[in-house]
Amino acid sequence: MRRAIRALTLAVFAVAFAWVSGHTEAQVVQRINGIGIVDYSHKPTFKVGDWVRYRMSGESAMGMRDDYELTLVIAGEEEWWGEECFWVETWTDAKGRAPETAATLMSYAIFEDSAAIQHMQSYQRKSISGVDMNGLPIEEITRPAASALKTRSAYQRPLMWNVDTLEADTVQTPAGTFQTRKVSIKQGTAVTSNMPDSTLYTEVRENRMSWFTLDVPITHIAREDVENTISRRSWMIGRSAEGSPLRLKERGTGSARLIGMGHGMKARMLVPERQKSLAQWRAEAAKKQAAAGAPARTGAKRR
């Protein structure tokens, strides 16, 4: 069975359906960071220029809808303070909206972590979310969250979920037909809030059905269906037994369908001279070093 870290395989997809994540009045997501879609449970086999694209759609009982394309591109590689890293660009494209792009430099060390999703922030090294007046990308170094510094812990509490690997299945997508393994992922959380004269209990659940295949680069996802629900109950302080029953307040569904994949995609955010592999960077460095160390020409006359 796949490692449990896949419980948030498409964490970014959940963000895309923000109206069912506990903020039903939220605006449609404009920019998405796709680092949560990368499959960290397998050794990386992707190369610079590899890409994968999904059709994202979703709707809620409150009438909110969204439909757009999400593309992940391995934009480049580089060494950051001696650490091997890779750039992930996420493109969000929807009709009637300007294209959005985010780029994050991730450490390859994340592929050695059995709890990669929970510790994801610890492996982010830099990010790009805009350009300056000259059109050059603005890079920001990723620093630990203030809460992590206060608690002296870089990691959040372990996430709780139920993961069940199901039967093999054939999935047809616009990008082709794939032999996949179905995985059911269920997770939930609850929060109790105290009001001046009452208590409010909120329960958020998420059910996912994912279809995995190693034939899809970067994410290994051919398809995913998501259902999110929000339920609440309340009672007067000290009288929980007399409180209202748990009632469904909101339900939302979403889907991700593979529509394309391949190699040779050029990055949007990362400048061309940095869209290189580690091997290319090292070859260029060796060439410069060899040129710098070559004996100078004496200029002797020919005989």
pLDDT by 10-residue block (mean), the chain, 303 residues: 32 36 43 89 96 95 90 98 97 93 97 89 91 85 64 46 90 97 91 89 93 97 95 88 88 96 96 95 93 59 40
Give the start-to-end residue ranges of the domains of the chain: 4-290
What pLDDT is recorded for position 30? 60
What is the sign of the dihedral through the CA atoms of 284, 288, 293 and 295?
Answer: positive
Please report, as a single letter, which amino acid is at residue 294.
Answer: A
pLDDT at 105: 98
pLDDT for position 167:
93
Distance, first Cα to last Cα, the chain: 75
Closest CA to 111 of 82, 86, 128, 91: 86
Q: What is the pLDDT of residues 5-25, one digit of tens each?
A: 233 333 333 433 333 333 333
pLDDT of residue 8: 33
Q: Which of 274, 303, 296 is nearest to 79 (CA)?
A: 274
pLDDT score, position 42: 94
Q: Which of 99, 116, 100, 46 is nearest to 75 (CA)?
A: 46
